Structure 1
Amino acid sequence: MIGFIGKDPVSTTFDSGKNKTTFSLATSERRGESSVTSWHNVVCWNGLARVATDFLKKGSHVAITGRISYRNYDKDGVKHYATEILADRMQMLDRTSKDEGSPEATVEETAAPTDDIPF
Structure 2
Amino acid sequence: MNKVILMGRLTRDPDVRYSQGENSMAIARYSLAVDRRFNRNNQDGQTADFINCVAFGRAGEFAEKYLKKGTKIAVTGRIQTGSYTNKDGQKVYTTDVVVEEQEFAESKNANGGSSFSGNTSAPAFEAPSNQNPGDGFINIPDGIDEELPFN
Give the alignment's TM-score, normalised by structure 2.
0.65
Higher relative contact order (CA 8 A, sep 6+): 1
State the shift of 1:43 in Å: 0.1
Which deviations, in whole Å up to 9, do the C-alpha atoms of 1:35-65 show, x marking residues without a partner? Answer: 7200100000010000001101100000000
Instruction: Give the one of 80, 103, 114 matched to 1:69.
Output: 80
Structure 2 unmatched runs, 5+: 1-5, 122-151
1:103 equivalent to 2:110? Answer no
TM-fit CA distance, 1:101: 7.0
Q: 1:58 to 1:32 in 2, by over 3 A?
A: same
Give the residue type in structure 2 aligned to 1:80. Answer: V
CA RMSD of aligned residues (A): 2.0
Once residues 15 and 39 of structure 1 are traced to their aligned partners in structure 2, the CA distance between those partners, rounded to angstroms, is: 29
Contact residue 67 and residue 114 of structure 2 kept, 8 A: no
Q: What one-letter code is carried by the residue in structure 2 that aligns with 1:74? A: T
Larger strand percent: 1
Instruction: Give the letter for the 2:10 counterpart.
Output: I
Match for 1:4 among 9, 13, 30? 9
Counterpart Cα distance in 2 of 1:86 and 1:58: 19
Evaluate the alpha carbon distance shift between residue 30 and residue 51 of structure 1 in structure 2; reply closer, same or farther with a 3 A threshold: same
Does residue 1:23 correspond to 2:36, yes or no?
no
Match status 1:86 vs 2:98 = yes
What's the CA shift for 1:107? Answer: 1.7
Q: Give the Å deviation of 1:95.
A: 1.6
Displacement of 1:75: 1.5
Q: Is the Cα–Cα contact under 8 Å of residues 71 and 114 in structure 2 kept in the other structure?
A: no
SS in 2 for 1:57: coil
Q: How far does residue 94 in structure 1 lie from its aligned partner after superposition?
A: 3.2
Residue of structure 1 in register with 2:63 after alignment: 52
Structure 2 counterpart of 1:22, which letter? R
**CA–CA distance in 2 between the matches of 1:91 and 1:101?**
11
**Partner Cα separation in structure 1 for residue 10 and residue 54 of structure 2:** 12
Q: Deviations over 1:14-52 (max 9, x none)?
A: 113011000000101222478720010000001000000
